[in-house]
Structures are given as C-alpha cells and as structure tokens.
Amino acid sequence: MGVTKTEIFTDEQNRIADLAKAFAHPARVAILQLLAQRKACVCGDLVDELPLAQATVSQHLKELKRIGIIQGEINPPRVCYCINETVWEEARRAFGSAFDTYVATTRCC
Amino acid sequence: MGVTKTEIFTDEQNRIADLAKAFAHPARVAILQLLAQRKACVCGDLVDELPLAQATVSQHLKELKRIGIIQGEINPPRVCYCINETVWEEARRAFGSAFDTYVATTRCC
DNA sequence: ATTAACTATCGTATTATTACGATAGGTATT
DNA sequence: AATACCTATCGTAATAATACGATAGTTAAT
C-alpha cells in the first residue's frame, strides 16, 4: 500500500489497522469464516473451498498468521490451521470499543 | 491491492472487506476516532491534527466516503465531515456477528 | 527407492495504495 | 476586482498487495 508512515501513529492505531487488514480482503474473510464455523480445523481443504490457486491461499494464510489471528500446526504433510482465540478476542474488543466511542447524539451534518 | 477477484465471493464477504478497509490504515483509524469522539463535526481541522499533507488527508476522506462510513456536508469554503450513523451501525453489526460465529469450544491445534 | 500428496516459497506480472506538491475551484473578505 | 482561505483533484513516484505458475521440501504410501 505505498509507504504508510506508521511511526506517526499510536501503537493502538497501528494495531487496529493491522487487525482490520485481516478482514480487508474477501478471501481472508472467507478463510476466517470457514475456520470460525468449523470446530475442527480445516487444513488444505481451504484450497478446495476457495476458487483461488494454492499459492494464493497460502499467501493469505501467511498474512493472517503474521497478524496473529490464526495459527497453524504442522502435521506433515498437512498443516492444521485454526483461530487464535487470544487474538480473536483482542480484535473483538478492539473493534467493539472503537465502535462504542461513537455515541449517536445530535447530528451535525 | 493487485487484482482481487471480487466476483468469486459473496456480497457479504465483499462488504465486510470493504468496511474493514475503513479501519485498515492508521490514518483512517485516527480520522474515525476524531470524528467519533467529537460530537461536533471536525472539518479541515483534521489536517491540523494529522501529520499528513492536506492532499493525503483528503484522499483518505474520499475513501471513507466511498465506503460510506462518513459523510460530508459542503459548507463553503469548508466541508463538515461526520460519522454516517447508518453505516457505522452496519459495520458494528457486521463485525459483531463475524466475531460471534466463532465459539471457543475444543481446541484443535 | 520411487511415487504420490500436501504446503511453503520464489519469481513475476499486474494492479492498488500511499504520499505529496502543484493546481484548480469555490466562497468570503477586503 | 483582488485577495485570502479551504478543499478537491491531478500528476507522479514509490511501495504494497494480489494472483498464479513453477519449484522445493516434507512425509506417507507403494
């Protein structure tokens, strides 16, 4: 995304932006929905479910892992992915409180 | 962000991704925080608050307007921006139900 | 040992994003 | 009318993101 001067923003703002990136692509939304719905971890089944190349899915999984919202356990030759509950709750709270800062009082425009 | 095959995903998935983009950059998080906190609309004060060029702030505002989460009322020579309550609530519900689809039961990996 | 199956990574083409200076266009003030 | 002020847009450079084929590396099965 171009340059993004992260140093001029607070850690909280940068973290929220990063957590939002987890949901900022429909493929990642789909992956997170699949992982959230199935109690059992889906592994490479994700590739079958999504009309994307294996390399592309793997790339999205890598991004989600970087953010921390999912985790993978290597179980060769497969890898088992699942939601990282801690980060999931962190994201829930972060967005929750972000939305709560707006109290709909009087309109202005 | 490259190509993004939106046509292979559901409308809901694409909408969530779009709403997430509103928060997927720290500058936009900062803008939304300012607009949410102040009951009165901040206008070009945003440019003073953020250490970014006026053109850059305007570009972020345009993106937030495209998503619909903010709205601007032209009041020349100023423009008054504020949260669009409808879309704000839409986003709250969308993320809320997204997070609720995950019920922490048994771990798998 | 070969083969098959599953993933991650590399390389690369294409497109999107970010940032900013410069400019244009609007209104209010002088 | 000229000026000052505010904001949007244009043009552009730099960088990030998306997607995929090809390849490499792993383990299980033959």
pLDDT at residue B12 is higher than 80 = yes
Q: What mean pLDDT value characterizes chain A? A: 92
pLDDT of residue B5: 84
In this complex, the answer to whether residue B60 has its CB under 7 A from any atom of chain C, a nucleic strand, is yes
Given a contact cutoff of 8 angstroms between Cβ atoms, the answer to whether A43 and A80 are in contact is: yes
> How far, in Å, is the CA of B7 from the C1' of nucleotide D24?
32
Which DSSP symbol is given to A98? Answer: H
B49-53 average pLDDT score: 96
> How far, in Å, is the CA of A77 from the C1' of nucleotide D30?
17
| Chain A residues in contact with B35 (beta carbon < 8 A) | 102
Beta-carbon separation of A105 and B36 below 8 A: no
Distance, in Å, from the CA atom of A108 to the CA atom of A58, rounded to the nearest integer, reads: 46
Question: What residue spans define the domains of chain A?
Answer: 10-95
A11-25 pLDDT, tens digit per residue, is: 999 999 999 999 999
pLDDT at residue B39 is higher than 90 = no
Higher-confidence residue of B41 and B6: namely B6
CATH number of A10-95: 1.10.10.10
Nucleotides of strand C within 7 Å of the protein's CB atoms: 4-11, 13-22, 25-28
In this complex, the answer to whether residue A52 has its CB under 7 A from any atom of chain D, a nucleic strand, is yes
pLDDT at residue B70 is higher than 80 = yes
pLDDT at residue A76 is higher than 90 = no
Higher-confidence residue of A71 and B103: namely A71
pLDDT of residue B106: 59
In this complex, the answer to whether residue A68 has its CB under 7 A from any atom of chain C, a nucleic strand, is no
Say what angle helices B54-67 and B11-22 make with each other, to 10 degrees.
150
Beta-carbon separation of A8 and B85 below 8 A: no
pLDDT at residue A58 is higher than 70 = yes
Distance, in Å, from the CA atom of A105 to the CA atom of A69, rounded to the nearest integer, reads: 34
Beta-carbon separation of A36 and B6 below 8 A: no
Task: Count helices and strands (H / E) in chain B.
Answer: 5, 2
| Chain A residues in contact with B104 (beta carbon < 8 A) | 85
Q: How confident is the model at residue B80 (pLDDT cuts 50, 70, 90)?
A: very high
pLDDT of residue A5: 84
Given a contact cutoff of 8 angstroms between Cβ atoms, the answer to whether B101 and A31 are in contact is: no
Q: How confident is the model at residue A108 (pLDDT cuts 50, 70, 90)?
A: low
Beta-carbon separation of A27 and B21 below 8 A: no
Given a contact cutoff of 8 angstroms between Cβ atoms, the answer to whether B46 and B11 are in contact is: no
pLDDT of residue A107: 61
Token pair listed for B109: 């990996």
pLDDT of residue A40: 66
| Alpha helix stretches (DSSP H) within chain A | 11-22, 26-37, 45-49, 54-67, 85-100
Phi-psi region of A2 (alpha: psi -120 to 50; beta: other; left: phi over 0): left
In this complex, the answer to whether residue B66 has its CB under 7 A from any atom of chain D, a nucleic strand, is no
pLDDT of residue B71: 94
Instruction: Please state which CATH class domain B10-94 belongs to.
Output: mainly alpha
pLDDT of residue A35: 95
pLDDT at residue A60 is higher than 70 = yes
